[in-house]
Structure 1
Amino acid sequence: MNILLTGGAGYIGSHTAVVLTEAGHNVIILDNFCNSDRSVLERLKQILQKDLICIEGDVRNTDLLTQALQEHKIDAVIHFAGLKAVGESVTMPVEYYANNVQGTISLLEAMKVSNIKNLVFSSSATVYGDPQYLPIDENHPTSATNAYGRSKLHIEEMLKDVANSDPAWKIICLRYFNPVGAHESGFIGEDPNGIPNNLVPYIAQVAVGKLPKLNVYGNDYPTLDGTGVRDYIHVMDLAEGHLAALNYVADHSGWIAINLGTGKGYSVLEMIEAFEGASGNKIPFNIVTRRVGDIASCYSTAEKASQLLSWQAKRSIQDMCSSGYKWQNYRSTLA
C-alpha cells in the first residue's frame, strides 16, 4: 500500500516508517519539522538503504494534503502530526487546539475529497484522565484533564462521528501509553527540544552527562517502592502496532479504539535501575516533593490489541533502556 504518515519525521512516526517500509509498503512522509529534525530523513536512509519521499508542509494546509493524497495514490493515512507536551498544552491551549483539532479537520477534508477512507489515528492514554481502576481497558471512562488530552479526545469523538456518517470509513484510534527506547541501530530515537518533559529521555541525558541529575517527584505513593508507576512500551513495539492496525482497518469498517501498552507498570526507581544496568553508569537523583496532578499508577491492559490485532509488546525493559542509551550516545555525536 501507499501510506501517508503525517508527522512522519517525529519520534513515533519515524520508527513506524521503518517498520512499514520493511514490510513492503510505500511510505510518504508529511511534516513541518516543528517538533522534529530534517536530519532524520538521512538517518532513515541509513537504516532502510533507500530514500523516503518527504513533503514539507503543515497538516492544516488542506490543498497541500489533497495534492499529496492524490499525486501519490495514497491508500491509507496514519495521522501522527500534532503537538504533544501535556505541560505546554496548559499554557498554550489555543495552539494545541489549532494544531491538533484543526489539523485533523483539514486532513479529513482532504481525505474525503480524495475518497480515501482508511485512517489510523495516533491517540493517547491521556484520554482516560485519572484512572478510576487498573489496569485501564478501552471501556474505562474518558475524561481528559489538560488541553493536550482534550484535543486527542475531541479528535476521537470527531472520528467516531465521521465513521458513523459513512460506512466506507475505516478508522482505528490507537491509545498509546508511554513510548520509550529507540531503533536497534541507534540512528533514530526520541529527540525532545530543550529539557525533556518525560522520564526516560531525561534519565538518558543524565546517563551520558548532558544533565547533572534527575529529580524524582515523590517517594510516598502507594506503590511497591513509593515512586510513580507507568506503563512503558518500546517504540518499536508501538511501531509494529501501527502495522497491525493498518492490516486491521483494511478489512473492518467503522470506528474502534485500542490500547497499545505492555499491561505492566514500572516505577521510577525501577527505570533508573534498569538504565544504570544498560549504561553501566550511575544515575544520580534527588527525591523531591510530588508534582501537582501526578498520580500513583497508570498502566493498561492490552488484551483487545492481542485479540483483534494479533499484536502484543515483546521487548523488555532492558531493551527499552539499552536502545535508548545507544541512541543517546549517537545523538551526542551529531552537530
Structure 2
Amino acid sequence: MRALVTGGAGYIGSHICVELLHAGMQVVVVDSLATSTEDSLHHIRGITGKSLGFIQADVRDRYALEEIFSQGSFDAVVHCAGLKSVDASVSSPLDDYQNTVTGTLTLCQAMAAAEVKTLVFTASAAAYGEPASVPVREDARLQAANPCGRAKGFVEDVLRDLHASDPSWRIGLMRCFNATGAHPSGCIGEDARESATSLLSVMGQVALGKLPSLSVFGNDYPTPDGTGVRDYIHVVDLARGHLAALRRLQDSPGVLTCNLGTGRGYSVLEMVAAFEAASGKPVPYEIAARRPGDIATCYADPTLAREELGWQAEHGIQEMVADAWRWQSANPNGYD
C-alpha cells in the first residue's frame, strides 16, 4: 500500500509514519512545516531504516494537491494536518476553522478527482465536549466546548455526507484522546516549539529549569483532586490505531468511527506525580484560573476499537511519562 500522510512531520503524524513504514507500506508526507520541522522526517528514516517521501505543501492549496496526486499513485490518505491547541482555537477561531475545515474540504476534492477514496482522519475527543457520562462512547452527543473540537466535529459531518453521496468511499474517523509520550527510541517526540501548551511538554520544561513552574488551570472541578481528568494515551498506541483503521478499511467500505483511548482518566496532579517519579525531578506548580473551553472529565470507552479494529492501547502511564522524559531530556530544545 502507498499512503499519503498529511501533517506527517508533526507529533502524531511522525509516529504514524513510523508504524506505516514498519508495516511495509510506502509513505509520502505532505506538510507545510508551519508548526513542524523536516528534521523529524530524518529521524523517521533512521528509526525505520526505510525511505520516506516528502513534499512541502499546504493541504489548503488545491493546485499543489492536484499535482501531488497526479504524480503519485496513492491507495490511501491519513489526514492529520491541522492545528491542535485549544487555547489558540479560542483566541483565533478563524485560523482553526481555516486549517481544519478548509484544508479537509480541499484535500477531499483533490482525492475525489484522483479517485483515491480511502481516508483515515485524525479526529478528536474534543468534539465530545463535556460528556453526559464517562467513559464516553462513540454514540455520545457531540457538543464541543471550544472551536478546536467544533471544527473536528464539523469535518466528521462533512465526511459522513461525502460517503452518503458516494458509498465507494472508505473513511475512518479516529477520535483521539490526549496524545502523550514519545517514541521509545527517544528520536522523535513533541517538538517544544509546536507544543508549548501540552501538559507533559510544559512539565518537561519545568523539570529542565526552562520554566519556573507549571500552571494548573483550575482546582475546583468536580473531580477527586479538583483538577481536570483526561484520557492520556501513548502516541505510539495512537499511531497503531491509525494503522489498524487503514487495514480494516481495506476489507469493507463505509464510515468507521472509533475512540482511540485507554479507558482510564488521570488528573493533572496525578500526571505531575507520575512525571516526577519517572524523571526524578520536582515539578513545582501553581493553581491558576480555569481556561475557557476546558472541561472537567473526559475519558474513552475503547470497546468499539477493540471489536472493530482489533486494537487496544498497550502502554500505561509509567511508559508514557518515561518515554516523554527520555525525549525531552535528550532534546531540551526539541528538534533544534
Q: TM-score, with normalisation over the residues of structure 2?
A: 0.96
1:142–1:284 distance in 2 versus 1, CA, 3 Å: same
Q: Does 2:170 align with 1:170?
A: yes
Q: For residues 322 and 102 of structure 1, what CA distance do their matches in structure 2 show? A: 37
Shift of 1:124: 0.3
Q: Does 2:116 align with 1:116?
A: yes
Q: Does 2:215 align with 1:215?
A: yes
1:237–1:79 distance in 2 versus 1, CA, 3 Å: same
1:45–1:293 distance in 2 versus 1, CA, 3 Å: closer
Alignment partner, residue 261 of structure 2 = 261
Task: Supply the AA of the counterpart residue of 2:107.
Answer: L
Shift of 1:85: 1.3
Task: Supply the AA of the counterpart residue of 2:323.
Answer: S
Q: For residues 318 and 44 of structure 1, what CA distance do their matches in structure 2 show? A: 24
Alignment partner, residue 272 of structure 2 = 272
Q: For residues 266 and 72 of structure 1, what CA distance do their matches in structure 2 show? A: 43
CA RMSD of aligned residues (A): 1.5
Alignment partner, residue 137 of structure 1 = 137
Shift of 1:156: 0.6
SS for the counterpart of 1:33 is coil
Q: Deviations over 1:117-175 (max 9, x none)?
A: 00000110111111111111001101122222121111110100100111210001100
Q: Does 2:59 align with 1:48?
A: no
Task: Supply the AA of the counterpart residue of 2:171.
Answer: I
Q: Does 2:205 align with 1:205?
A: yes
Structure 1 stretch displaced more, 18-27 or 123-132:
123-132
> Stretches of 4+ moved more than 4 A in 1?
none
SS for the counterpart of 2:59 is coil
Q: For residues 101 and 195 of structure 1, what CA distance do their matches in structure 2 show? A: 21
Alignment partner, residue 323 of structure 2 = 323
Alignment partner, residue 127 of structure 2 = 127
Q: Is residue 90–residue 293 contact of structure 2 (8 Å, CA) maintained in 1?
A: no
Alignment partner, residue 155 of structure 2 = 155
Alignment partner, residue 291 of structure 1 = 291
Q: Deviations over 1:43-84 (max 9, x none)?
A: 112212233110001111222222222322100000011122
SS for the counterpart of 1:250 is helix
Task: Supply the AA of the counterpart residue of 1:139.
Answer: D
Alignment partner, residue 240 of structure 1 = 240
Structure 1 stretch displaced more, 63-72 or 39-48:
63-72
Q: Does 2:59 align with 1:64?
A: no
Instruction: Give the % identical residues.
Output: 48
Q: For residues 38 and 59 of structure 1, what CA distance do their matches in structure 2 show? A: 16
Shift of 1:222: 2.7
Structure 1 stretch displaced more, 318-327 or 98-107:
98-107
Shift of 1:192: 4.2
SS for the counterpart of 1:145 is coil
Q: For residues 155 and 165 of structure 1, what CA distance do their matches in structure 2 show? A: 15
